[in-house]
Structure formats: structure tokens, C-alpha cells
Amino acid sequence: PALNVADCDYNVTEIIGYIKDSSRLGVKLLVFPELSITGYSCGDLIFQNTLLASTLAGLYRIIKASRSVDTVIIVGLPLVNNNRLYNCAAVIYSGTLLGVVPKSVIPNYIEFIEKRYFDEAPEKNGTITIDGAEYPFGTKLLFKCRNMPEFCIGVEICEDIWHPIPPSTYHAAAGATIIANLSASNEIIEKSEYRRLLIKSQSGKTNSGYVFANASDSESTTDLVFSSHNIIAENGTILTQTPLFDQNLLVSEIDVDKLCCERRRIAPFSNIRTEGYQTVYFDMTVTDTQLTRAIPKNPFVPDRISERDKRCVDILTIQSAGLAKRIKHTGCKKSIIGVSGGLDSCLALIVTTMAHKKLGIPVSDIVAISMPCFGTTERTKSNAQALCEELGVEFMTVDITESVKSHFNDIGQSATDFDTTFENAQARERTQVLMDIANKTGGIVIGTGDLSELALGFATYNGDQMSMYAVNSGVPKTIIRHIVKYYATLSDNENLKNILYDIVDTPISPELLPPDGDTIAQQTEDIVGPYELHDFFIYYMLRYGFSPAKIYYLALCTHTEYDDKTILKWQRLCYQRFFASQFKRSAMPDGPKVGSVALSPRGDLRMPSDACAEIWLKEIDNL
């Protein structure tokens, strides 16, 4: 807020105005800058009894104003305790002073001379007496909501975060999910970027939400200028920040449930000692929140083109490096890959060519095999061949139609009964062809199935589920199209570009059922649902352990093109297939992890194959 230096009445009036404005927005935690009641730049006026008395009067006014709002309010002010002056944060809720946190690290260098005025915080918690009443006082205070225990606040003040081991590290270890920082960080060239990186890093290291409230340009400009650079961060991501010299209220939401899930998953604070912490509880009504922050619609795919392109480069690099190591280790002579003219085999083939180039071995040692059968269309078959020709790899066609028919005769399967056996027999025959050609040529079979298919179990066990190295097993379906398209943009070969673009535009299909003319009869997303929804469900289920109800709520907020019944339909199917298909993932081949979600039974997902989905499905059914 705007302020007049040393004019507590004016400053408190401004603060109360912000309290009322934020309450109308549904704000539950409101953080003001360091020494916000007096102004940070009072200098030696801070010693004046008149100013200190006016500060206390202002604090009482704010406490009284807090009765009419459902907001935790944290304001900065100087306070005397045991005849020592401290730079403090007062934590207020519903007409009550919950506690006072003094500043730990007192800067005394270059432009800062705070040791002239303030004592460092005591090592242990104690109490402070204000108007005859005692309140908790100390740096080891946490403020926790009884109604939502995940909402737990720790407080530090300005310089505290610049210390090599900030108090917020201990606050988070003791249970704080939100760190409030009341700051007066002056502006000089490039300091704002350093400040941003500092807060981003600390929120990431502590798996916390970080709320940084900075002093405004209303402070004295005798020697310094302040800029209102306010920041809200969450777990290493800047959610929002104000432009420099902008005094508008900065508002966002912090997902404390996500932070708690993340901490349980990685247990970051196991060796940090937190003796002496005291928890102060408050009761706050839990209400629905209207989200204003951006929730990624496609969490595996960055929205910004520059970030998306970098993601594509990183994935291709990781995939090809993993495969190169496997080829080198096995000493294989050939890389064998089945090509269908679809996205997954296209990406796997690109990765294989990159691995060969990385190792300095000819791409002609890659044997790409097209295995047409009942459902193969001319479009995909011709694209597969043209792609191989443009990439310079060896291309073979092995028509498996007669082999599959012979197998049907062996097992008594009708060639007109388009059941699961009809489909899976083709997938298994293709795998047999690949494996035997690999044996014959001294090669290894490169798997093409992706993470999304593995999550849904949309792969034939001991068919396309099996390979000797599965390069796509860590790559979600929603980003594969972008990777292939990005690779096309890098090429100077117009023919290759056109082929890749056509593959990107081809409907996703296993092509196991006879086509209608040359029209693909079997589209995967008609069977299992939209991959953009499934990748959304999978990301929040596996990355953060969110409940189906929360994922459904987030899907309603982001995937507005689907109605609630459609989202629930595919969400239920996602959970059903995910649990039922773990046995396929338990036997999945090696493959590189490329992102924060992975399904390897040797790494990220140690899940029993016979785990029951009932409680998750019941929750979906009750939505």
C-alpha cells in the first residue's frame, strides 16, 4: 500500500482498505511489507516513544478491523520486548493477535544499518506482553488452520531469505506449507531478477508456497528506492509477480494439498532438526475457491512455443542417449523397428537415427519393417515407406496376413470375428517377426509404445508391449505430436517435412480392424477416450497423488470443451484400465525416464499387479 513515512494513522488506514478489498476477493492470507505500519525508512525516528505508541495504536485498529473478515493478516511493525526493539511481523486473525515473529537476520552492510535499531530474534520462543496480555513471540512459530491442517504458515522477514540457511528452511521442515516474507528490498539494477530467482529457488527447495510482500516506492527516497516487487511462488514456480513500481494487490492461489503430496513423496526434511517449534491454531471456514491461477490444460506440454521446443529437444536428447548406451553395451549390429506410419513408430525411428548418428554408425544399419495386415491403410503404409527412404534406413515389408490366417486356423479363430483375439494375434505376430529378424541380423528390437498407452494398458501383452529397449515408454501421447512436428521444422528436406506433417495429421489407430475403403476404421480415442484427458488424469494422479474428486474439479476448470458426464466417463475408464493393466507394466522392458511421471516397475511405480481400484472408482461414482 501507499504510505507516509512515520505516519501510522495514514498507513493503517491504507492497510485496512487493502484488508477490505482483499476480503471481497476471497483472500485467506494477506501479507504486508516489512515495517508496514511505520514505513521501513523511518531511520532514527524508530527510537521515538511517540512513534512506537502510534504503532501499537495502529496494531489495535488492524486487529479490530480483522473481526469482519475471514483472512489471516500479517503486518510489519517495530515492537519492544524486554526493553529491546525488534523488527516484527504480527499475525492476526478474526480479532485476535495470534503471535509475533521477530526478524532473525539483521543486515548491517552497505546501505543497510538495521543493527543500529534492532536486536536479532531470541534463539528460543517466548512471549511478548502487549497491553497487559501475553502473546507467543519468536521465530519458531507456526500458524495452522484446524479446519485445513495443510494450510500452515511460517514467517520470515526480508534479509532472512538472503541468509545461506533461511529460517523458512526450518519452518518448512517443521510443517509450514506457506512461507510469508515481509520485505523491504530496495531496487537497484538487476536486483529484481536475483530476488525472483532467490524466491523461486527457496520455494522449490522447501516444497512450499512463498508469499513475498515488498515495500513500495512510497518509502523515503533519500538514499534508496523501493519498487513493490511482490511475488507469489509455489514449489519452484513463480505463480505471479507485480511489475516494478506497481502498487496493485497481487493475488493467486497456492495448492497446499499438492505441496503436502510432494513432501510425502520425496521426504526432503528428514535430517533437519526442528526442536522448539510452537504451533498456534486458528479456525477458518473452508470454502470453495474461484481459481485465478493458470492450471495447465496439457500438463506434459508447455504452452509457450519456446519452452515447448526446448522440451522437445530435451526429450529427443534423453531418448537417443539412452538408446545409444544400450546399442553400445550390447554390441548389436542392427536396430530393428516396426514402422506403421503412425506417430509412435515415427518418433521411435527418429530417435533411433539420432542414436546411430551419436555413435557414428550408419543409419543404414537400422532395419525398419512394415508389417501390413487386415487393418493397414494405403496412407499409413506409404508414409512408413517414404519416411524410411527419406531417413536413409533399410526398409522391409513383411506382409503378415497369411501368417495370421494360418494362426487363426491353428487355434480355431474365425477371420470374420473381429474380437480381441483377432486384434491381438496381429500384434503378437508382428512382435514375433521383429524378434526373429533381430536374432537373424544380430540386432535388438526398439519398442515404440508410449507412456499414455502403458498407463491405460492399451498394448498387447507379449505383443507391442514387448521389446528389447522401449524408447517411448517415458513419453506421453500428448507431446509426441509436438516432438514430431518440431523435428520436421528442423529439416531442410521438404519431402521429409511433408511426410512428418501428414503423420502428425493421421488419426491415432492400431489399425487392427479392416478399413472402410482407405478410411481408418479403428480410432484409438473413440475406444479409450481423448488422450488429452487421460494424460491430464495420469499426471495429477501419479505426480501428486490427487484424489479423483480433485482431478475432476481441475478438469472441469481446464477442459471446458467437455461436459461433466464426459469427463467422468473417461476418468472412470482411466482408473479402471490403469489398475487392471499393472501386470503389463510389471513386465515392461527397459526404457528411459524423460519427465517427472514414469511407469517403470524398477523405478517410479512399484505397484502390485493385483491392487484394487474400488475406493477410487467409488469416489468417481459419487461425484
Question: Catalytic positions, please?
Answer: 34, 103, 158
Rounded to whole angstroms, the Cα distance separating 118 from 176 reads: 26
Q: Which residues have a Cβ under 8 Å from the Cβ of 24 and sit 6 or more positions away?
A: none
DSSP assignment string, 276-311: T-EEEEE----------S---SSTTS-SSHHHHHHH
- Let me know: does 185 contact 226? Beta carbons within 8 Å: yes
Q: Is 397 helix (H, G, I), strand (E, B) or coil?
A: strand
Q: Which residues have a Cβ under 8 Å from the Cβ of 224 and sit 6 or more positions away?
A: 41, 111, 186
Rounded to 5°, angle at Cα 113 from 215 and 186: 25
Rounded to whole angstroms, the Cα distance separating 229 from 427 reads: 58
How far is the CA of 151 from the CAs of 28, 146, 154, 234, 613, in angstroms?
10, 9, 10, 13, 29
How far is the CA of 446 from the CAs of 42, 65, 345, 424, 450, in angstroms?
70, 67, 9, 19, 12
Rounded to whole angstroms, the Cα distance separating 63 from 58 reads: 9
Q: Is 22 helix (H, G, I), strand (E, B) or coil?
A: helix
Rounded to whole angstroms, the Cα distance separating 464 from 547 reads: 31
Backbone dihedral angles phi then psi of residue 543, each to the nearest 5 degrees:
-75, -40
Q: How far apart are the first and last CA of the chain?
A: 43
Q: Which residues have a Cβ under 8 Å from the Cβ of 113 and sit 6 or more positions away?
A: none
**Grid cell 518448512 — which residue?**
172
How far is the CA of 273 from the CAs of 73, 150, 262, 269, in angstroms?
28, 20, 20, 8
- Let me know: does 600 contact 588? Beta carbons within 8 Å: yes
Element containing residue 211 per DSSP (H, E): strand 209-214
Backbone dihedral angles phi then psi of residue 201, each to the nearest 5 degrees:
-65, -45
96-102 and 84-93: which strand pairing? antiparallel
Residue 428 is which amino acid?
Answer: R
Q: Where does 392-493 have alpha helices with state H?
A: 401-411, 420-441, 451-456, 477-490
